């Protein structure tokens, strides 16, 4: 949820460098109802000299703020605006710790990061996404649908498939694509966050492929949804349009257009034939009249 890099963050009196957090493990997804409490655990595989543990919070649309700094056998030190009553933290040994959020409110929903440090370097976990459920809404799995490329896209250029997952609650989802059952990451663009509409969420992901691939391969969009207990997967698949892009794209629209053009050409042909027949009839009649007058 946070990418590695040299991002400077203020932690107590230290400036800590954000480093690859593959050594730090923390709870990934968590939800609770309003009024309940949520406990997030954190551990690391660095050596026992990394005794300092920091907890940060990032709310939607806001920057990261330090909640608390802990070391074993010492009283936690809280950042501005945070208290022990609301955010009790524990650090019983060098390699494990926890943070609890009490009396949950909807505004507590956000991403909580654990970081461990020895002196100046801070190793961050990937973050815990905490969602405070609204009691009036039920946990609902997503409906997944792949939309084929638009007929307005150039026939022999790139094709864009759109995957829409909708109707789910809460927004604990991730999306991935497969081409012929092999996971594909190139050409994939997924919304950063699910969009809320009334009592549910939706998210969109796009896959850009070559016209050749679109004609010959099978595409699958899978949405992984956390229902509070397990991770469940919901998918939709679409087989490319064989033959499309080789000359004219023979879609329903093209068929109708071609049929109408054929009918119009046939009607013009009949009209011309009728006019020609009238012309011949008039010419024969005129010749007969002329011949009769000469005979008289």
Instruction: Evaluate whether residue 273 is within a structural domain.
Output: no
C-alpha closest to that of 92 among 67, 70, 117, 66: 70
Query: Looking at 133, 156, 175, which one is the last position of a domain?
Result: 133
Residues 157 and 106 in one domain: no
Instruction: Evaluate whether residue 290 is within a structural domain.
Output: no
Residues 29 and 121 in one domain: yes
pLDDT score recorded for residue 23: 84
**Total count of domains within the chain:** 2
Query: Looking at 188, 214, 239, which one is the last position of a domain?
Result: 239
C-alpha closest to that of 103 among 73, 132, 144: 132
C-alpha to C-alpha distance for 69 and 53, rounded to whole angstroms:
6
Mean pLDDT, residues 103-111 taken together? 93
C-alpha to C-alpha distance for 12 and 287, rounded to whole angstroms:
115
Instruction: Evaluate whether residue 184 is within a structural domain.
Output: yes
pLDDT score recorded for residue 293: 52
Residues 119 and 26 in one domain: yes
Residues 22 and 117 in one domain: yes
Residues 15 and 124 in one domain: yes
Token pair of 281 as six digits:
């009839």
pTM above 0.85, yes or no: no
Instruction: Evaluate whether residue 69 is within a structural domain.
Output: yes
Overall residue count recorded for the chain in this entry: 296
pLDDT score recorded for residue 13: 35
Cα–chain center distance at 211: 22
Instruction: Evaluate whether residue 292 is within a structural domain.
Output: no
Residues 36 and 150 in one domain: no
| Confidence band for 27, pLDDT divided at 50, 70 and 90 | confident
pLDDT score recorded for residue 284: 55
Residues contacting 151, CB < 8 A, separation 6+: 249, 251, 253
61: phi > 0 → left, psi -120 to 50 → alpha, else beta; which?
left
User: Looking at 16-25, 41-50, 94-103, 124-133, which range is the least confident one?
Assistant: 16-25
* DSSP element (H, E) containing 280: helix 252-295
pLDDT above 90 covers what percent of the chain?
52
Task: Give the CATH number for residue 195.
Answer: 2.60.40.10
| Confidence band for 138, pLDDT divided at 50, 70 and 90 | confident
| Confidence band for 2, pLDDT divided at 50, 70 and 90 | very low
C-alpha to C-alpha distance for 180 and 213, rounded to whole angstroms:
10
Using the structure block, give the residue that is written with the tokens 């698949």. Answer: 237
User: Looking at 65-69, 232-236, 285-289, which range is the least confident one?
Assistant: 285-289
Residues 149 and 104 in one domain: no
90: phi > 0 → left, psi -120 to 50 → alpha, else beta; which?
beta
Query: Looking at 239, 272, 289, which one is the last position of a domain?
Result: 239
pLDDT score recorded for residue 86: 97
- Exposed, middle or buried: residue 154 (CB in 10 Å: 0-12, 13-18, 19+)? exposed
Mean pLDDT, residues 18-28 taken together? 72
pLDDT score recorded for residue 92: 87
- Per-residue CA distances from 285 to 273, 281, 296 (Å): 18, 6, 17
Instruction: Evaluate whether residue 100 is within a structural domain.
Output: yes
Token pair of 225 as six digits:
């949804």
Instruction: Evaluate whether residue 287 is within a structural domain.
Output: no
pLDDT of 257 strictly over 70:
no
User: Looking at 16-25, 127-136, 142-151, 228-237, which range is the least confident one?
Assistant: 16-25
Pairing mode, strands 200-209 and 195-197: antiparallel
Residues 124 and 185 in one domain: no
pLDDT score recorded for residue 252: 52
Give per-residue pLDDT as tens, 143-175: 999 999 988 877 668 999 999 999 999 999 999
Answer for the pair 142, 223: CB distance below 8 angstroms, yes or no: yes
Token pair of 286 as six digits:
């005129």
pLDDT above 70 covers what percent of the chain?
73
Residues 97 and 193 in one domain: no
Which structural domain range is residue 171 located in? Answer: 143-239
Instruction: Evaluate whether residue 265 is within a structural domain.
Output: no
pLDDT of 243 strictly over 60:
no
User: Looking at 17-21, 26-30, 195-199, which range is the least confident one?
Assistant: 17-21
Residues 120 and 151 in one domain: no
Give per-residue pLDDT as tens, 271-296: 656 665 665 566 555 656 655 555 54
């Amino acid at each position: 949820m946070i990418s590695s890099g040299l991002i400077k963050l203020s932690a107590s009196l230290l400036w800590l460098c954000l480093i690859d957090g593959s050594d730090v493990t923390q709870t990934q997804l968590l939800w609770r109802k309003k009024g309940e409490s949520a406990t997030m655990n954190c551990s690391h595989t660095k050596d026992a000299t990394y005794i300092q543990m920091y907890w940060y919070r990032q709310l939607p649309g806001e920057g990261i703020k330090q909640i608390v700094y802990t070391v074993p056998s010492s009283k936690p030190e809280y950042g501005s605006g945070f208290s022990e009553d609301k955010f009790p933290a524990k650090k019983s040994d060098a390699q494990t710790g926890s943070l609890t959020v009490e009396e949950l409110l909807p505004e507590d929903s956000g991403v909580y990061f654990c970081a461990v440090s020895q002196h100046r370097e801070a190793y961050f976990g990937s973050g815990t996404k905490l969602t405070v459920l609204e009691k009036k809404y039920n946990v609902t799995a997503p409906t997944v649908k792949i939309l084929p490329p638009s007929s307005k896209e150039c026939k022999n250029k790139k094709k864009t498939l759109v995957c829409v997952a909708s109707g789910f609650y809460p927004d604990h989802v991730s999306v991935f694509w497969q081409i012929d059952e092999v996971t594909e990451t190139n050409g994939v663009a997924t919304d950063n966050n699910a969009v809320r509409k009334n009592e549910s969420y939706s998210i969109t992901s796009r896959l850009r492929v070559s016209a050749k691939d679109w004609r010959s391969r099978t595409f699958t969009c899978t949405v992984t949804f956390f229902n509070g207990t397990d991770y469940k997967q919901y998918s939709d698949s679409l087989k490319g349009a064989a033959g499309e892009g080789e000359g004219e794209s023979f879609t329903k629209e093209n068929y109708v257009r071609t049929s109408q053009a054929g009918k119009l050409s046939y009607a013009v042909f009949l009209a011309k034939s009728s006019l020609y027949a009238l012309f011949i009839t008039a010419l024969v009649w005129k010749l007969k009249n002329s011949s009769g007058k000469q005979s008289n």
